[in-house]
C-alpha cells in the first residue's frame, strides 16, 4: 500500500507545472507520520499536511507540504492531497488576515444550508477537535480536492467572478454563500497560484501538523491577535522568537534534501 517516492516526485513536478506558484513551497516525502513528525506523528491518521512559515521567515520557502506516502493509496489520492494542501490551506493564506477571517465566517454562516451541510458533516466527522474556524478552512480545502485545472485555466473571467462571490457573501454579506460561490472563490485562488498573481499575505505563527487539538488552535489564534497589536518591529522580533521556539520543538524540516523541485 502507498506510492513510491519516485512516483510522488513525478506527480509533484506535473502539479507544479499546472500551478507554478507552488514552487514557493517545499515538499517533504516520508513513509509515515512518525517519520515526518517524530512522536507527534504516532496515531496521526494523515496522508498529507501543510506547515506554514511565519512572517519572520517569509523571504525563503513559504511553507512545506508533508506527505506520508504509506498512507496514500494511489495516484488519484496523492493529487487530491496536493490540491487540499496547496490550493486549500496554502491558498487561503493568499488572503490578507482580515479577508481570510471574512471568508471563513462566510463559510460558517452557510453551514446549515444544503449542500454546504454535507460538506460540514464530512469535516466535523474527520476533524472533530478543531475550532470552528479551522473546520471552515477544512471545508474549503476538502472542496478544492476535485478541482481540475481545466475548470479555470482558460477562463478570462475567473478572477472577477471569484472576487464578486467573495464581495457579495463575505464582505457585504448581502446573501448567504452557496457552494457555487465557494467554487468561484477556490477557482480564483487556484488560477492565482497558476498565474502567480496571488502571494501569501497571512502568515500563521504555527504550522498545521495534520490534525490539531482544539486547545492548541485556540492558543494560536489568541497569540496571533496579541502579536498583531504590537508595533511592527516588536511584532517581527516576537514572531522570530516564537518561530525559533517552535523549530526547537520540531523535527528538522529537511526541505532542501526533499524538494526545491530539483527533480
> What is the sign of the dihedral through the CA atoms of 127, 23, 33 and 1?
positive
- Dihedral class, residue 38 (left if φ above 0, else alpha if ψ from -120 to 50, else beta): left
- DSSP three-state, residue 52: strand
pLDDT at 55: 47
Mean pLDDT by 10 residues, the chain (263 residues): 94 98 96 93 92 64 93 96 96 97 98 95 94 97 96 96 99 98 98 96 67 37 60 68 51 39 41
- Dihedral class, residue 44 (left if φ above 0, else alpha if ψ from -120 to 50, else beta): beta
pLDDT at 57: 54
pLDDT at 62: 86
pLDDT at 61: 85
Burial, 255: exposed, middle or buried (Cβ in 10 Å; 0-12, 13-18, 19+)? middle
C-alpha separations of 95 from 15, 80, 106, 163, 260 in Å: 22, 22, 14, 12, 24
Amino acid at each position: 500500500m502507498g506510492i513510491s517516492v519516485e512516483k510522488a516526485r513525478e506527480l509533484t513536478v506535473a502539479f507544479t507545472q499546472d500551478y507554478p506558484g507552488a514552487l514557493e513551497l517545499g515538499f517533504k516525502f516520508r513513509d509515515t507520520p512518525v517519520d515526518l513528525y517524530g512522536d507527534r506523528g504516532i496515531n496521526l491518521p494523515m496522508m498529507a499536511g501543510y506547515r506554514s512559515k511565519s512572517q519572520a521567515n517569509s523571504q525563503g520557502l513559504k511553507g512545506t507540504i508533508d506527505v506520508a506516502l504509506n498512507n496514500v493509496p494511489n495516484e488519484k489520492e496523492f493529487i487530491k492531497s496536493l490540491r487540499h494542501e496547496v490550493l486549500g490551506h496554502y491558498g487561503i493564506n493568499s488572503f490578507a488576515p482580515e479577508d481570510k477571517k471574512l471568508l471563513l465566517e462566510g463559510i460558517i454562516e452557510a453551514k446549515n444550508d444544503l449542500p454546504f451541510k454535507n460538506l460540514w458533516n464530512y469535516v466535523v466527522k474527520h476533524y472533530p477537535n478543531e475550532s470552528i474556524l479551522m473546520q471552515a478552512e477544512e471545508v474549503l480545502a476538502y472542496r478544492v480536492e476535485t478541482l481540475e485545472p481545466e475548470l479555470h485555466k482558460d477562463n478570462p473571467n475567473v478572477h472577477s467572478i471569484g472576487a464578486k462571490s467573495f464581495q457579495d457573501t463575505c464582505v457585504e454579506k448581502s446573501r448567504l454563500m452557496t457552494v457555487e460561490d465557494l467554487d468561484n472563490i477556490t477557482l480564483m485562488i487556484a488560477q492565482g497560484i497558476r498565474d502567480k498573481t496571488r502571494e501569501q499575505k497571512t502568515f500563521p505563527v504555527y504550522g498545521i501538523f495534520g490534525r490539531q487539538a482544539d486547545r492548541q488552535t485556540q492558543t494560536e489564534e489568541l497569540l496571533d491577535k496579541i502579536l498583531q497589536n504590537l508595533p511592527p518591529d516588536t511584532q517581527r522580533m516576537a514572531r522570530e522568537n516564537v518561530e525559533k521556539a517552535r523549530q526547537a520543538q520540531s523535527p528538522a524540516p529537511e526541505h532542501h534534501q526533499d524538494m526545491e523541485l530539483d527533480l
